[in-house]
Amino acid sequence: MGDQPGITRDRLHGAAEYQGRGFELIDTGGIVVDDAEYIPSQILKQARVALDRAEHIIFLVDGRSEITAPDRDLARMLLKLGKPISLAVNKADTGPHESLAHDFYSLGIANIFPVSAEHGIGVDALLEHVTAGFAETPGEERRDAIKVAIIGRPNVGKSTLLNVLTGEDRSIVSPIAGTTRDSVDETIVRDGVSYTFVDTAGIRRKGKTRQMAEKLSVVMARRNIRMADVALVLLDASEGVLALDATIAGYAHEGGRGVIVCVNKWDLIAEGKKTAFERDLRDQLKFLDYAPVLFLSAKTGVGVTRIFKAIREAYESATKRISTGELNRFVESLHFEERRIYYITQASIKPPTFVLFTNRTGPLHFSHIRYLTNQIRKRFGFVGTPIELKTKTKKD
């Protein structure tokens, strides 16, 4: 892509990892120093920002061609930054590179790596060198992109919201084609966190008839929830909660993923209606009592930015682990007469699932489950995620 210095595009970046060391990779595209004519200053500015933030710079040159004057200018500019630099000589396997080796050394960059991006040759050695000083990401915290599903019935604004969420930040990493042509995920990076919106092609696709669109929205919701860590359940503020909304929200709840309710098209509603709207909504979607409700307008963009924080929080809740020690201190503080609880342990995440060891057989009554769930939430949070309780009998 960076072959033609004159042809530039938005900066690309994404979260990457090499042998347990996580880092962010930024592709500046082609840079030509002091070439205002070809490179709009905006793009140079973006490259500047990237270079300022970088901990290591990889200067990529084509191994089949001779070093040009702009290459030299750029190398000089990069060396002046005083940051670690590696020179990657691409396509070194296919060109008459031997004769050019001397040329590359003359750029003054000591660490030279012949690579073939196409064949993956030499890339390991380069990455090993580049990431050598980077901290290892601890296993638990190693963070892939948070997978997000945008679900809701037709016309609530799913594609409009998707466009704002992915377009606002000019850093779409890449649409990654899934197994089928019509399933495309899009990843963006925001404040160092990657978010992958699953099945974006499906979200943008429209059903031909109303009936078909409605069916499609349910099928998509069920499938996309399974692929996601967090589901955004979109509602249309001007229409309230309809039966189909409740069906889709129900699937989100049963999916056991993080759930955020987004009341879209809030621009159409008069001020001061939030409390009443949320009360009705909570009443109709009782099972989603743990889900935060956000009021927003995908069309005007008002309230949209907050979604990212809500997604992170829901994801953290869904993957949070409470130690057995903490849970036992919690049990001791409980006033639960119904059964004797010996101890509680967290068996899994997504959703957080707790196992209670008690002195009596049989499932707990619904109201007791609710009481205990509420107590766990009161103590440990878990905003944005369902939690599950299971009981087991422990023989004395």
Q: Residues interacting with ligand GDP, by CB under 6 A?
A: 152, 154-160, 264-265, 267-268, 297-299
Q: Which residues are CB-neighbours of 275 under 8 A, at least 6 positions away?
A: none
**Tokens standing for 30?**
């082609």
Q: Which residues are CB-neighbours of 283 under 8 A, at least 6 positions away?
A: none
* Minimum CB distance to ligand GDP, residue 127 (Å): 40
| Residue 164 near residue 172, CB atoms below 8 Å | no
* Minimum CB distance to ligand GDP, residue 298 (Å): 4
Strand-pair category, 146-151 with 230-236: parallel
Q: Which residues are CB-neighbours of 165 under 8 A, at least 6 positions away?
A: 188, 195, 197, 304, 307
Q: Measured from the CB atom, is 205 or 392 closer to ligand GDP?
A: 205
DSSP label of 224:
H
* Minimum CB distance to ligand GDP, residue 243 (Å): 17
> Which residue type sits at 335?
H
Q: What's the CA gap between 342 and 78, in Å, rounded?
A: 64
Instruction: Specify the 3-state DSSP secondary structure of 27.
Output: strand
Q: Measured from the CB atom, is 157 or 255 closer to ligand GDP?
A: 157
Tokens 């309780």 label which residue?
389
HSE-up of 93 (CA within 13 Å, CB side)?
Answer: 9
Q: What's the CA gap between 374 and 384, in Å, rounded?
A: 14
* Minimum CB distance to ligand GDP, residue 278 (Å): 17
* Minimum CB distance to ligand GDP, residue 126 (Å): 42
| Residue 247 near residue 215, CB atoms below 8 Å | no
Q: Radius of gyration over alpha carbons of the chain, in Å?
A: 26
